[in-house]
Amino acid sequence: MGQDIKQEIKKFNSKVNLDEINKAIKNDPNLKNFKVTEKTLTNISQWALDGKSQCEIAQNLELTPAQWLYLCDMCPSILKVMQHSQAYADMVIAGTLFETAVGGKKVIKKVPMKVHDYESGKVVGEHYEILEIEETTPSNPYLLKFLAEKKLTDNFGEQKVSDYSKFRDIVDSISAEDEEAIKEIEG
């Protein structure tokens, strides 16, 4: 899990009152041996980020589905932790897709390069040096077209038709070279 995601989860989880949750489940015979800790909330968040279902999370916590549902009924903040984690994961995925579609991200690659050693103008040996090369990621016109035609317009409901033309401009602005590459691949 990325450091920024961990911080975001920790920030949200710190708002959950663990004492009240544990006080509420303490008197219940079904959950008397279960205690919610910060680690429990972090695990629930992580599992939600990983796409686990509520049933799988209950199994991971060694709870029956009935106990899990009862826990969620008593402490809706646990469901909020899951929903927040899933929403954050969706934002991260959408951002990554957009960055991939648009391109232009600077990436530093380390490349080994053979270098000759010289003495008096003659090659006397060779060694390898690691060079750092900065590259820019190319745009992905297929993903950009998909996002512009499908995903972005799906989010605007009634304005879909009028906003479609704005996003269509993005697709129309694809360079001639990219269009030729698309035609070659499409056959």
Are residues 42 and 10 part of one domain? yes
Q: Where are the beta strands (DSSP E) in 50-175?
A: 106-119, 122-136
Are residues 60 and 17 part of one domain? yes
Are residues 131 and 171 part of one domain? no
Are residues 75 and 42 part of one domain? yes
Domains contained in the chain, number? 3
Are residues 87 and 159 part of one domain? no
Are residues 61 and 26 part of one domain? yes
Are residues 122 and 54 part of one domain? no
Are residues 81 and 35 part of one domain? yes
At 115-143, the pLDDT tens digits run: 888 888 888 999 899 989 888 888 888 87
Task: Tell me what pLDDT residue 165 has.
Answer: 54
Residue span of the structural domain in which 163 resides: 141-186
Answer for the pair 112, 140: CB distance below 8 angstroms, yes or no: no
Burial class for 21, CB neighbours closer than 10 Å (0-12, 13-18, 19+):
buried
pTM passes above 0.85: no
Are residues 124 and 45 part of one domain? no
Q: Pick the residue with more confidence: 74 or 174?
A: 74
At 72-99, the pLDDT tens digits run: 877 777 777 777 777 777 777 777 777 8
- What distance in Å separates the CA atoms of residue 69 and residue 32, rounded to the nearest whole number? 15
Are residues 83 and 13 part of one domain? yes
38 pLDDT above the threshold of 60 = yes
Distances (CA, A) of 109 to 59, 72, 131: 42, 47, 8
Are residues 151 and 95 part of one domain? no
